[in-house]
Amino acid sequence: MRARGRKGLALIAGALLVTLTACGGGDSGSGSGDGKGKDAGAQQGKQSAAAVTISPKSGATGVDTSGALKVNVAKGKLTEVTVKDAKGAEVEGAITGGGASWTPSTHLAAATKYTVHAVAKDSEGREAAEDASFTTLTPKNTFIGDFTPEDGSTVGVGMPFSVHFTRGITDPRAVEKAIKIKTEPAVDVEGHWFGNDRLDFRPEKYWKSGTKVTVDLDLDGVEGRAGVYGKQHKTLTFTIGRNQVSYVDAGKHTMKVTQDGKVIKTIPVTTGKPGYDTWNGQMVMREKLAVTRMNGETVGYGGEYDIKDVPHAIRLTDSGTFIHGNYWGGDAFGNYNASHGCVGLRDVRGGYDKDVPAAWFFNHSMSGDVVVVKNSHDRTVDPGNGLNGWNMSWADWTK
């Protein structure tokens, strides 16, 4: 019994010795204490020196839609910046300054949450990343743009893309930048402002037949004037139809209708009588009305006329110039000018006869077709009176 006890004590002592040796291994220089210090130092040495900062700070609300979002890095270069809205749509932007910063290339949408992920590398290629999220402001005052032509429409070769804004614009560059137009086949399209509430886009010459035009009307979040933001984002397309241009000679009282440069019909007309001469120049068809009322009081001619059933009317200017059917003109067509400024074509009351010149022309015309008037005794129509910017030189248009 005693012998076994001493043996047990010896074993315990041996075990204690082994344990103490293991615990005291630091004295031998081979224990885990120094090892842990070296690993920590090596790990610390792997940390990137690049420091990424995102503005605005994560969690910010009421952020402005322009100028507030920026990503910068110190002691490194940005290699990746991804900004997305809640639906996953990415915001375009560019890394600049040799990798020192990133800014968006467009405005942000209003009342929208965005997430930012940015990655940078230091001089030794070690990566650092930063993430943030923020929400843009909800505007109290907004505007939209009423546009023509409509989405999906087919129009004539003279139709511009025209936007009329519901508020006067004081930052036209910001608004114009937010409207992107692409064409197939490609052609240079430029915008021109008429006043502070209308912006038209067109190419230098009439569109080519078959051209497909795509418009990205991205006004959402654009500060068009102080404290007033766009609330509209729409993508639309329209197609250019056959090339029809009609030439009215006010002196000869005729109109030649051409398609693709070839005369397909010559029609006798009457234009504005002396004192009420028709505008000269290129005028684009804006709307077609099978029947409409024409009252002199609406265009400053008092009670000189009030015709409740004018047939086959096509608007050429905002000020009231039409090319339309005329059933009361007698023998004026092709002989003398008798209208108050419109171009009249022979018609019948009620517009039921499809064979009369006015009906034929109405049925062979579409919005965007061009009517060119020459040899009238009045001046050229103002480019902003209707969709008639073609009366402005390309140099003036692009100023």
Alpha-carbon dihedral sign for residues 256, 260, 261, 263 = negative
Count the alpha carbons within 13 Å of 2 in the hemisphere toward its beta carbon. Answer: 0
Per the CB < 8 A criterion, the answer to whether 269 and 334 are in contact is: yes
Per the CB < 8 A criterion, the answer to whether 272 and 340 are in contact is: yes
**Predicted local distance difference test score (pLDDT) of residue 233:** 97
**AA identity, residue 211:** T
131 closest CA partner among 199, 83, 61: 83
Strands 306-315 and 322-326: antiparallel
Q: Which class would CATH give 51-136?
A: mainly beta
Do the domains 141-240 and 51-136 match in fold?
yes
Q: In sequence order, what are the beta bridge partners of 118? A: 81, 130
Catalytic (active-site) positions: 324, 342
- Look up the CATH number of domain 244-397: 2.40.440.10
**Predicted local distance difference test score (pLDDT) of residue 300:** 75
Domain residue ranges of the chain, discontinuous segments joined by +:
51-136, 141-240, 244-397
**Spatial distance between the Cα atoms of 372 and 370, rounded to a whole number of angstroms:** 6
pTM recorded for the entire structure? 0.84
Strand spans (E) along 77-125: 77-85, 93-96, 101-104, 113-121
Residue 215 burial (CB < 10 Å; 0-12/13-18/19+)?
Answer: buried
Per the CB < 8 A criterion, the answer to whether 343 and 371 are in contact is: yes
Within 10 angstroms of residue 154's Cβ, the number of other Cβ atoms is 14
**Predicted local distance difference test score (pLDDT) of residue 306:** 85
**Predicted local distance difference test score (pLDDT) of residue 5:** 41
- Look up the CATH number of domain 141-240: 2.60.40.3710
Tens of each residue's pLDDT in the chain, 399 residues: 334 443 443 333 343 333 333 333 334 333 434 444 444 444 445 899 999 999 999 999 999 999 999 999 999 999 999 999 999 999 999 999 999 999 999 999 999 999 999 999 999 999 999 999 999 999 999 999 999 999 999 999 999 999 999 999 999 999 999 999 999 999 999 999 999 999 999 999 999 999 999 999 999 999 999 999 999 999 999 999 999 999 999 999 999 999 999 999 999 999 999 999 999 999 999 999 999 999 877 777 777 778 999 999 999 999 999 999 999 999 999 999 999 999 999 999 999 999 999 999 999 999 999 999 999 999 999 999 999 999 999 999 999
Supply 367's token pair.
């919005």
